[in-house]
Chain A
Amino acid sequence: MIDTRTPDNFEWRFVLVAVGILAVGVISIYSVAPGPGPGGQAPLYAKQLAWILIGTLAFLAAIAIDYHKLARHAYVLYAVMLIILALVLVMGKSSRGAQRWFSLGPIAFQPSEVAKLVLVLVLAKYFADAQRYGWVQRVIVPGLLTLPGILLILKQPDLGTAMSFTFIFVSMVLVSGLHAKALGMGVLFTSMLFPFAWELVWTSLHDYQRERILTFWDPMIDPAGKGYHALQARIAIGAGGLLGKGLDEATQSRLKFLPEGHTDFVFAVFAEQWGFIGVLVLFLLFATLIFLASEIAFKARDPLGLLLAAGVLSTLGFCLMVNVGMTMGIFPIVGIPLPLMSYGGTTTVTSMAALGLLLNVKRRRLTLFY
């Protein structure tokens, strides 16, 4: 069923906040790379505008198709997603020691970004289908559902997205309900397992990932090498001060001391240019978005809608926290883009589709059961 109602006030507010964040992102990208892109391609900000246009289509599509209908195909979609994640390991493009991308002509497509939404969908479907009792049904089964995805993504390797997967799983389990006793058991179990798991995880990490984690604790271990990103991001943010240095004077980003200023470290660029006050305004936009999204989840008509909205919310929220946290040096650098602001086709389109899903849930709350 295609919904063609004109947007109400709530929806306008929602869209306005999202557009605000997107605009801030484009300005930040422009300020780092005003010139033509690599190899004489279009400037990055222009390409990002194109992605936002495509993202708008994804956004509208995500509103249009009833989420109940989507959920009906959730398991199939998830299976297809796992196959694609397996394929990217075989056929994907390798870059900087990681195999995360499909090359589609000039554009690179990163399936793990989309996989996050599909995971939300399948977990929402699982928990909404029937009452789940006991921690086998509530933890083990969804855990087994999530695990192949995590393993495939770790294999790429993409530590950041694997952590997103884990966080989505944990937050869905928690929202869907876990008795305090079970929760305690889980925590105990995990902490008992931790030394073994740590050993396993640590040794399976690539050298650069281990160095990133080590230099997170102390960037000065290697300020010109492995600690460079973390240190320069911190310098950029700190140098912004209370009022920011403005677009022209923000030397950390303009002179490229801050690497990846248009992608993972776009927040640091913004913070240097606009300062503490500017970032507070940005945080206010994100807080509004979180508030509106949780409002949608709260008022969802059924558990599926609620869980779906909650999953989308925690996905976006997690990316926001981790990305901003890593630029500020309170989290290791794991390569998670800032939703709606970082440059990138897959992340932009996926994030906008996620917003679409939220509005989808909101719009279906008054429709009749059929």
Chain B
Amino acid sequence: MSKFTTQHEDFKNLQRRLLYLRLGLLLGLLFLSVRLWYLQVVKGDYYRALSEQNRIRTVDLKPARGLIFDRHGELLANNVPSFNLYLTVEDIRDREGLAAALEDLLGLPRAETKKRLALQARSYVPILVKAGLTLREAALIEGHRLDLPGLRIQAESQRNYPQGSLGGHLLGYVGEVSPEQQDEPAFAGLAQGSMVGKAGVEKTYDRMIRGTAGEKTIEVDARGNERKTVGVVEQTPGDDLYLSLDMRMQQMAESLLGEEAGAVVALDTTNGDVLVLASRPTFDPNTLSRGLTSAVWEQIVTDPRHPLTNRALQGQYPPGSTFKIVVASAALESDKWSSDTKVRCTGAFQSGNHTFRDWKKGGHGVMDMDQAIVNSCDVYFYNIGHRLGIDAIAETARWFGLGQPTGIDLPSERVGIVPSTEWKQRVRKEPWYAGETISVAIGQGYVTVTPLQMAVATAAVANGGILYKPRLVRAVRERATSRLREIPPQDRGTVPLQDRTFTLLHEALHGVVTRGTGGRARSKIVEIAGKTGTAQTVGARPVQTGTSHEAVPKQFRDHAWFVAYAPADAPRIAVAVIVENIGHGGTFAAPIAKALIEEYLKVSDTDDRHQNTGQF
């Protein structure tokens, strides 16, 4: 009985304790409810915002870049679809297998893939594995898609230059906007990964042709797969550019330069239109626009021939005898010299204790201004320099636009040097020595110019003094309105020479071709006027008079210049040609100018294409 009582009491104890268990569990639920209240009601808005952040992604809709055409409507730059392979590291299951598969399917080195994966570990931002897959490669990847999670092929628009390397310098290339650029006002508001022009007209006109990016708001699931579109702001394509360039002539100029380094510029003398702007060696803008490896980029920028330099506006050369046009003008405009002033050329000119030689051993005999230009008599111009002094020459050179930017619509133009007493004091902190004027008088010494400056100056001589700003883009087609907006020709004023000075220059320059040093530019179909130039390269070159130019090592040979315009009586085209380290201008540069002039005038005479603005 006592045992029963004990047990009974014990049972009561059990029941009592049981109530604590029940109470504990119900209190637990109450506690959970309080926490729930905090999460759902107090912090509800906060967590709802976080969940929206989870599900909503904004995808940039990249705009199509504007197209670029030449003056005849030839396509120079467009956009082509490109299959780009992206990889999301987070979704990869088997790194080894993936690296092996990429090697098998696409030939990507296994070690490099693994290195990239290691660098990107724990990221859910897709990385570009390979751009521009071939259809075959894309099909192979799609076929293995289930075995290779994390890989995704995206069709994107790729900048394309159908003409390859032709005109590569002036077109430029595109690339992703760099972090430094994003801070600049010109690139404000561009998303990371946006394509912008990096050189050439792609850069100058970037804001017009880049277009406006759109934005698509999508709902994604946890793996980033798009489920539905929530909203779209359409992108606007960029404006199209119509260049004044004549691609046929550009091609001709580039092939005439061939493997030689050099530049060719051809301008329309009536409005400054750039018909040709060739620079060699060149590069293929397609390669540069498709994302280079740093090794390839390194190779390009360290190439001793500097293929990225646009020699037409960045190459600064001594003008050589082409500068005699400037010096002659300076003389004719001064009261110290006239067209009739005669000089006996004996082949040498003595200044102080230094002897300046004429290019022709033994000299030219008695020369007047016309003869001196036609025969490119150095001694005659040494005398002018001696008489005028450097500052008179410098002033005239500046009239022709030398030493200043031409204002062409291309980036990074160089200006060359127009030396003067002021210049030397400022830059070299030294006084000008009279003897230095003698070299400048024949385009040597401190004076340097770009081929584009020489072309603009030659055009000004041809058209009676109008200094045009070179115009590479003639018109812009606005995509938004489909309206074609012409960019009017612009001049920078006139070269203030007297008419008789122009008349003399015209006759003399014509004479250079018909009876002087530019005989190789003589054409059967058109009268060409021009001036040869042979610019001595800087550096201590061993003096070997009488040796043929082939015997001189290549890097010590002279730069060959030829500037020209045609037709001589009613000019329409001006050309400047420079071929580096090759020899005499009359021999090597003049034929190139002649060929281009003939091509231009032959075609424009037959079908008058250059007038035909109805093309666009």
A-side residues, CB < 8 A to B, are 131, 171, 174-177, 224-225, 232, 234-242, 251-252, 255-259, 271-272, 275-276, 279-280, 283, 286-287, 290-291, 294, 297-298, 302-303, 306-307, 310, 313-314, 317, 320-321, 324-325, 328, 330
B29 to chain A, nearest CB (A): 5
Question: Which of A256, A271, A298, A310 is B36 in contact with, Cβ under 8 Å?
Answer: A271
B336 CB-CB contact with A under 8 Å: no
B13 CB-CB contact with A under 8 Å: yes
A255 to chain B, nearest CB (A): 4
Question: Which of B11, B40, B52 is A271 in contact with, Cβ under 8 Å?
Answer: B40
Q: If A287-B29, A310-B21 touch, does A251 touch B219 (CB 8 Å cutoff)? A: yes
Q: How far is the CA of A291 from the CA of B480 in the complex (A)?
A: 72
B21 touches A314 (CB 8 A): yes
A177 touches B22 (CB 8 A): no
Q: How far is the CA of A303 from the CA of B18 in the complex (A)?
A: 11
- Among residues of B, the one whose C-beta sits closest to the C-beta of A307 is B14
B540 CB-CB contact with A under 8 Å: no
Q: If A224-B124, A238-B43 touch, does A321 touch B25 (CB 8 Å cutoff)? A: yes
Residues of B within 8 A of A290 (CB): 22, 25-26, 29
| 26 A/B residue pairs, CB under 8 Å, sorted by A | A131-B7, A174-B20, A176-B17, A177-B14, A224-B122, A238-B47, A238-B50, A239-B50, A239-B51, A241-B45, A242-B41, A257-B51, A276-B36, A276-B41, A279-B33, A279-B40, A283-B33, A290-B25, A297-B18, A298-B19, A310-B14, A314-B25, A317-B21, A321-B25, A325-B32, A330-B35
Interface-forming stretch among B103-111, B147-155, B221-229, B444-452?
B221-229
| Given A276-B37, A328-B32, 19 additional A-B pairs, CB 8 A | A171-B21, A174-B17, A175-B17, A175-B18, A177-B13, A225-B122, A240-B40, A251-B54, A255-B219, A255-B227, A257-B54, A257-B221, A271-B40, A279-B33, A294-B21, A294-B22, A297-B18, A306-B14, A321-B28
B302 to chain A, nearest CB (A): 41
- Among residues of A, the one whose C-beta sits closest to the C-beta of B10 is A131
Q: How far is the CA of A313 from the CA of B28 in the complex (A)?
A: 13
Question: Which of A131, A237, A239, A306 is B18 in contact with, Cβ under 8 Å?
Answer: A306
B220 CB-CB contact with A under 8 Å: yes
B44 CB-CB contact with A under 8 Å: yes
Residues of A within 8 A of B32 (CB): 283, 321, 324-325, 328, 330
B538 to chain A, nearest CB (A): 60
Residues of A within 8 A of B40 (CB): 237-238, 240-242, 271, 275-276, 279
B355 CB-CB contact with A under 8 Å: no
Q: How far is the CA of A239 from the CA of B39 in the complex (A)?
A: 8
B-side residues, CB < 8 A to A, are 6-7, 10-11, 13-15, 17-22, 25-26, 28-29, 32-33, 35-37, 39-41, 43-48, 50-52, 54-55, 90, 122, 124, 219-223, 227
B54 touches A310 (CB 8 A): no
A123 to chain B, nearest CB (A): 13
B39 touches A310 (CB 8 A): no
Residues of B within 8 A of A328 (CB): 32, 35-36, 39
B507 to chain A, nearest CB (A): 80
B44 to chain A, nearest CB (A): 4
Residues of B within 8 A of A272 (CB): 51
Q: If A131-B10, A177-B13, A255-B220 touch, does A313 touch B33 (CB 8 Å cutoff)? A: no
What 8 pairs between A and B have smallest CB-CB spacing?
Answer: A238-B47, A294-B22, A239-B51, A241-B44, A255-B221, A256-B222, A317-B25, A276-B40
Residues of A within 8 A of B10 (CB): 131, 177, 303
Q: How far is the CA of A255 from the CA of B54 in the complex (A)?
A: 9
A235 touches B47 (CB 8 A): yes
Q: How far is the CA of A310 from the CA of B227 in the complex (A)?
A: 48
Residues of A within 8 A of B45 (CB): 241
B54 touches A306 (CB 8 A): no
Residues of A within 8 A of B33 (CB): 279-280, 283
Q: If A239-B44, A255-B227 touch, does A298 touch B25 (CB 8 Å cutoff)? A: no
- Among residues of B, the one whose C-beta sits closest to the C-beta of A128 is B14
Q: If A238-B48, A310-B21 touch, does A298 touch B15 (CB 8 Å cutoff)? A: yes
Residues of B within 8 A of A283 (CB): 29, 32-33
Question: Which of A232, A241, A286, A298 is B29 in contact with, Cβ under 8 Å?
Answer: A286
- Among residues of B, the one whose C-beta sits closest to the C-beta of A175 is B17
- Among residues of B, the one whose C-beta sits closest to the C-beta of A236 is B51
Question: Which of B6, B54, B220 is A131 in contact with, Cβ under 8 Å?
Answer: B6
Q: If A298-B19, A313-B25, A330-B35 touch, does A238 touch B13 (CB 8 Å cutoff)? A: no
Q: How far is the CA of A276 from the CA of B39 in the complex (A)?
A: 9
- Among residues of A, the one whose C-beta sits closest to the C-beta of B14 is A306
Q: How far is the CA of A228 from the CA of B139 in the complex (A)?
A: 35
B343 to chain A, nearest CB (A): 85
Residues of A within 8 A of B52 (CB): 251
Q: If A238-B39, A276-B40, A330-B35 touch, does A252 touch B54 (CB 8 Å cutoff)? A: yes
Q: How far is the CA of A77 from the CA of B273 in the complex (A)?
A: 100
Q: How far is the CA of A257 from the CA of B35 in the complex (A)?
A: 22
Question: Which of B6, B15, B20, B51 is A306 in contact with, Cβ under 8 Å?
Answer: B15
Residues of B within 8 A of A330 (CB): 32, 35
Question: Which of B6, B14, B50, B222 is A175 in contact with, Cβ under 8 Å?
Answer: B14
Residues of A within 8 A of B220 (CB): 255
- Among residues of B, the one whose C-beta sits closest to the C-beta of A174 is B17
B26 touches A287 (CB 8 A): yes
B20, B48, B122, B223 — most chain A CB neighbours (10 Å): B48
Residues of B within 8 A of A320 (CB): 25, 28-29
Q: If A298-B15, A313-B25 touch, does A257 touch B222 (CB 8 Å cutoff)? A: yes
B82 to chain A, nearest CB (A): 30
Q: How far is the CA of A131 from the CA of B35 in the complex (A)?
A: 41
B348 to chain A, nearest CB (A): 82
Q: How far is the CA of A320 from the CA of B33 in the complex (A)?
A: 13
A234 touches B47 (CB 8 A): yes
A303 touches B11 (CB 8 A): yes
A298 to chain B, nearest CB (A): 5
Residues of B within 8 A of A291 (CB): 22, 26
Q: How far is the CA of A249 from the CA of B470 in the complex (A)?
A: 62
A241 touches B41 (CB 8 A): yes
Residues of B within 8 A of A176 (CB): 14, 17
Residues of B within 8 A of A286 (CB): 29
Q: How far is the CA of A238 from the CA of B227 in the complex (A)?
A: 23
B223 touches A298 (CB 8 A): no
- Among residues of B, the one whose C-beta sits closest to the C-beta of A225 is B122
Q: If A238-B50, A276-B40 touch, does A255 touch B55 (CB 8 Å cutoff)? A: yes
Q: How far is the CA of A271 from the CA of B37 in the complex (A)?
A: 11
Residues of B within 8 A of A271 (CB): 36, 40
Q: If A251-B55, A251-B219, A310-B21 touch, does A241 touch B36 (CB 8 Å cutoff)? A: no
